[in-house]
Chains A and B, each alone.
Chain A
């Protein structure tokens, strides 16, 4: 079975641009969470979606938005990119909310210049 997949693998953008990152969860999983991991730090929670509804939001500005589609895949959008948005963006899927194990994708490395 395929694990969590993310695209693209790497991305280079310029300050002020917009970016869309994509995530496909493990088949059967209905929850997708997004995390930002700055180099040398642990991941920081951005969003959780379950059954296509936002169920949790971390301390990130409104420039960050996400959505989940009927097939449970998800997109993370970041507008007006800043240099500080450069990070590894991780997507994790789980069967449901709460105590379920989360399975992480390989991440998308975003570099903002």
Chain B
């Protein structure tokens, strides 16, 4: 069964601090991995998307890493801001083959709260 698990479930940090969110997946065949930021009651917004051959990708203060061998990814946020408070969702896309091609499997998200 294709699954995406994220940790921690929630995280509280002080403004200006760094943090790292984790994602483990068992999706097969793998196509790509995406990190989304979702504000409460809003639709998810893409932060990064990585294919099998990419180890790291940055988007401003967000840096995602991918280890396709261990099927792990992380999202590192540097110099956190109050506006970073949101749910961060790891999403894995199923690769070529079968009717599930392109299907997205979502993690349950990590709720990040940044305090002043």
A56 in contact with B43 given A41-B108, A99-B93 (CB within 8 Å): no
**Interface size band for B:** 20 to 34
Residues B43 and A105 in contact, CB atoms below 8 Å apart = yes
Q: Contact mask A83-113 → B, CB, 8 Å, 1/0?
A: 0000010101000011111111111010000
B87-116, CB under 8 A of A: which get 1 and which 0? 001000100100111111111110000000
Question: Roughly how many angstroms separate A56 CA and B103 CA in the complex, as a whole number?
Answer: 8
**Within 8 Å CB of A42, what residues of B?**
4, 89, 106-109
- Interchain CB contact under 8 A, A98 and B42: no
Of the candidate stretches B11-19, B45-53, B61-69, B73-81, the one touching chain A is B45-53
Task: Enumerate chain A interface residues (CB-CB to B < 8 A).
Answer: 4, 33, 35, 40-45, 48, 55-56, 88, 90, 92, 97-107, 109
The 4 lowest CB-CB distance pairs between A and B, nearest first, are A104-B43, A42-B106, A98-B102, A42-B108
